[in-house]
Amino acid sequence: MRHFVVVGILVIVMAVLTYVGLDSAGLMPVEASAQSVSIDWLWNWQIVAISFLFALIVVPMAYSMVIFRRRKGDITDAEHVEGNTTLEITWTVIPLFIVLTFAYMGAYSLGETRRVDPNAMVIKVKAQQFTWTFEYPEYGGFFSNELHLPVDRQVVLKMESSDVIHSFWVPEFRVKQDVVPGRVTEYRITPTLIGSYKVRCAEICGTSHSYMENAIIVEDESVFTAWASEQETIMLASQTPESLGKILTVKNGCVGCHSIDGTQLTAPTWFGLYGSDVPLADGTTVVADDAYLAESILNSTAKLVEGFSPTTMPAYTLTDVEVANLIAYIKTLK
């Protein structure tokens, strides 16, 4: 009996120490959405269960190894124990109860995470190798590569992929949702903390999967409305070839691979490209004029640039005017 009391106390002490240790390890980033509250609540109870189970296994094992070890010169067999019905019923019923409780807590947490607000703002999301594009139908349908969200209002993201499976994941929001070609998946979130975050693609989707990060800005309702209205105005007012070309690059996600500031991504940068000498994979050089850019936009491997893979650029269907607008935009990047 004395052993049971000692082990019982040690298990409790060990469980508390393990819980405090795990809890202070800071495993979770900041809690930035309404949905994260019930997820973190469930997570916390899982940590409690993990700490207790760890102590329940490790403490009796270590205790037995020390207290009941074979002494020098002791060659007798251990005591033979034949079944214990009470113990077996106990260690079946208690875990069953705990598992059922966690099943209920999991279902409750899932229900809270998916709670629908009928006034949620719809934003369309397009995922592609290797960037995210956001469209705001409530504001004339402008496109953005940054996801701006008003604080404390539920948004529902209607997500589509134009190539392979991607996964929309913002650690601070906790919820994660796959984006699958051929179907629309929904992601509901109510941001509760103003700040800057990042969406990370959480499904390996190709060579630049790790670059598939876009900024998320959660801001005050009034700041958001001002931004969205401005974007809408710019979109409506901008009818120059350069600005139409720029909108096209955002919509098609070109800037996920072609930087506009000289940064080297998976495709040649557009910065200072127009009029420059471009070294090709076959050893020759070509001047980046209108004809070369038009050819490369429609057929990226016709003149492959030295040092780049021929397979990465998707085929786009663009009209002659759209190609001309794109080139007009590229000309402005210097």
> Applying CB under 6 A, which residues contact ligand CUA?
166, 201, 203-205, 209, 212
CB 186 within 8 A of CB 47: no
Q: Which is nearer to ligand CUA, 212 or 228 (CB)?
A: 212
**First and final C-alpha spacing in the chain:** 82
Pairwise CA distance, residues 176 & 185, whole Å:
11
Which tokens go with 164?
């392979």
Nearest to 152 by CA among 200, 223, 214, 201: 223
Q: How far is the CB of 271 from ligand CUA (least distance, A)?
A: 24
CB of 7 or CB of 164, closer to ligand CUA:
164
Nearest approach in angstroms of CB 202 to ligand CUA is: 7
Between residues 53 and 175, which has the closer beta carbon with respect to ligand CUA? 175
Comparing CB distances to ligand CUA, the nearer of 60 and 206 is 206
Closest separation in Å from C-beta 159 to ligand CUA: 12
Nearer to ligand CUA, 166 or 246 (CB): 166
Could you give the CA distance from residue 57 to residue 33 in angstroms, rounded to a whole number?
Answer: 36
Q: Which residues pair with 107 in a beta bridge?
A: none
Please provide the DSSP assignment of 33-64 as one string: BTHHHHHHHHHHHHHHHHHHHHHHHHHHHHHH
Distance in angstroms (rounded) separating the CA atoms of residues 331 and 246 = 11
Residue 253 Cβ vs ligand CUA, minimum distance, rounded to whole Å: 11
Q: How far is the CB of 251 from ligand CUA (least distance, A)?
A: 18
| Partner residues linked to 169 by β-bridges | 176, 200
Region class of 279: left (phi > 0), else alpha (psi between -120 and 50), else beta: beta
Nearest one of 198, 210, 218 to 121, comparing CA atoms: 218
Q: How far is the CB of 131 from ligand CUA (least distance, A)?
A: 9
With respect to ligand CUA, which residue has the nearer C-beta, 170 or 201?
A: 201
- Give least dist CB 129 to ligand CUA, A: 7
Q: Which of residues 190 and 214 has its CB atom nearest to ligand CUA in the complex?
A: 214
The continuous run of DSSP H or E covering 290 comes out as helix 290-298
Task: Tell me 164's DSSP state.
Answer: S
Residue 73 DSSP code: T
Of 126 and 174, CB closest to ligand CUA: 126
Rounded to whole angstroms, the Cα distance separating 140 from 36 reads: 31
| In the complex, minimum distance from the CB of residue 198 to ligand CUA, in angstroms, rounded to a whole number | 13
The residue behind tokens 């009796």 is 60
